[in-house]
Amino acid sequence: LGLSASLAETQLPPQPVAAASLCQVYRLELEGFGTVAVKVQRPGVRSQVCVDLFLFRQLACIASGWIPGAHDAIALLDECGTRLLDELDFTLEARNALEFEASAARLDLEPICTVARPIVMLTTRSVLVTTWVEGEKLDALSERD
């Protein structure tokens, strides 16, 4: 699963607290860290995305031979592919979260903005570990408000 060495010995719960097409999130108690959220990419998702991007790019190259402006589609696909692969790099997500936290502090947003702090030493490209933040689901908020 791409777990860091110190996290590999920890048993993930059988059920995630949240799931999406690319990853699942688990709530764990880790000694020395307290309650954490562990976001784990589904196995093989990066390689499947790479294959899909390759196939789409091949189709775009073929189409560029007879569809005017298809070269722009290749450039757009390349850019989207780069950004999608960035989204699959949880070390980058951790760095961005730390930058966002620092910006929120500079803007004095801490009273109204909570950031799940990444635990960088436990984070890998395919596993993101952060402090656990209690909250409400957005659909619960919209029903109440």
Cα–Cα distance, 53 to 47 (Å, whole number): 10
Tell me the CA distances in angstroms from 12 to 46, 91, 115, 136, one per residue in order.
Answer: 21, 20, 23, 23
Would you give per-residue pLDDT tens digits along the chain (145 residues)? 555 655 655 678 889 999 888 899 999 999 899 999 999 998 889 899 999 999 998 988 888 777 776 678 888 889 999 999 988 999 999 999 999 999 999 999 988 888 899 999 999 999 999 999 988 777 776 666 5
- On whether the pTM is more than 0.95, the answer is no
Q: For the chain, where are the alpha helices, taking DSSP H only?
A: 5-8, 45-63, 70-87, 90-106, 138-144
